Amino acid sequence: MSLADMRRVIDPDTYFDHNSPPTNLQWAHDQVDEFVKRQSPDQRIVLVTSGGTTVPLENNTVRFVDNFSAGTRGSSSAEQFLAMGYAVVFLYREQSLQPFNRHYSHNSKGLLSYLERGSDGQIRVKPEWEQQLGRDLDLYQKFTGEGKLLMLNFTTLSDYLFLLREVSLLVASLGPRVMFYLAAAVSDFFIPSHSMSEHKIQSAAGDLTLRMNQVPKFLGPLVKNWVPLCFIVSFKLETDPELLGPKARHALEKYGHQVVIANMLDTRKQKVWLFTKNEAICPAAIEISKEDLDAGKDIEQDLVVELARRHQQYISDAK
């Protein structure tokens, strides 16, 4: 393949011609279409993306590159958006944390530790878990039953990008009342399908050297072409504190969207900074104490309240 071909393949506009859509794309399209039609004309809607994308090393995938994200931010935020009256499309990595389920699915306890057999022989929830589990079950059933929570899952980078574009194009015409809350940890590098080994990479040849291409920057097309009227919140994660501010500012300047939320890997559950056009030098910080964190408070409660406030202002300004 020539260099020119390579460049064409990794251009955001042509990415979709060179990679296969996920098997749930049509299903997701129909679900989102129905979901949107069910909402009232002034309903605020948010697309929350959550969890990490995988990057396969083989077309018949045995091995893949993954990342750390558990989906805590996304699943907790989705609960908070629902509590604040939003309708939520939750685009999440398969087997990562999900709203209302998140307290039970991924801890060291395991499902069986929540259950016991009563004296009547029936299996039941242990009394100490009844209140919390009952509350989460009721909320989950309420929001799904009312058509306010729609969950779509992805695994690979490519699944994610196809689904993101699909949802975007379906909600674009709703304009300012739609928020994009892009908390998923999306890979920066991938191996294009045509450069990948077709079958399982064999070890007989010795060490493995990987060459990965840069993933095209999709925030550009998203902001400019797919959903130019929507309220867009992206996230920036770093491990080097010197880079966080400059990179968040750079993203804001380059894409011109509404908010970049900056967080450090180690402290992401306790502190985030909100960069906006008017707060590029002195971003607003949202922080919770270690005591609050240990007591089970999620920083997303405060974060989402603040974003919803800014979103409401954005909607009013657009009228």
Question: Residue numbers of the site for ligand PAZ (CB under 6 A)?
Answer: 69-73, 183, 185-186, 235-237, 263, 268
**Max intra-chain CA distance, the chain:** 73
Taking the complex as a whole, the smallest distance from the CB of residue 46 to ligand PAZ amounts, in Å, to 15
- State phi, psi for 152 to the nearest 5 degrees: -125, 135
Taking the complex as a whole, the smallest distance from the CB of residue 263 to ligand PAZ amounts, in Å, to 5
Please list, residue by residue across 254-265, b when 16 or more beta carbons sit within 10 angstroms of its beta carbon and e when fewer do. ebebbbbbbbbe
Nearer to ligand PAZ, 9 or 186 (CB): 186
Nearer to ligand PAZ, 85 or 246 (CB): 246
Nearer to ligand PAZ, 268 or 297 (CB): 268
Taking the complex as a whole, the smallest distance from the CB of residue 51 to ligand PAZ amounts, in Å, to 6
- Helical (H) or strand (E) element with 88: strand 87-93
- 283 neighbors 249 (Cβ within 8 angstroms): no
Distance CA 47, CA 183 (A): 10
The alpha helices in the chain, defined as continuous H runs, are: 3-9, 12-18, 25-38, 72-83, 102-105, 127-145, 157-171, 219-221, 241-255, 290-294, 299-318
Distance CA 210, CA 213 (A): 10
- Residues 21, 25, 26, 28, Cα dihedral to 10°: -170
Listed in sequence order, the residues at least 6 apart from 132 whose beta carbon sits closer than 8 Å to its beta carbon are 103
| C-alpha distance from residue 299 to each of 77, 281, 296 (Å) | 9, 23, 10
Taking the complex as a whole, the smallest distance from the CB of residue 57 to ligand PAZ amounts, in Å, to 20
3-class SS at 217? Answer: coil
Taking the complex as a whole, the smallest distance from the CB of residue 186 to ligand PAZ amounts, in Å, to 5
Taking the complex as a whole, the smallest distance from the CB of residue 234 to ligand PAZ amounts, in Å, to 8
Nearer to ligand PAZ, 44 or 73 (CB): 73
Nearer to ligand PAZ, 171 or 262 (CB): 262
- Give the bridge partners for 156, in sequence order: 54
Nearer to ligand PAZ, 239 or 278 (CB): 239
Nearer to ligand PAZ, 72 or 80 (CB): 72
Taking the complex as a whole, the smallest distance from the CB of residue 147 to ligand PAZ amounts, in Å, to 26
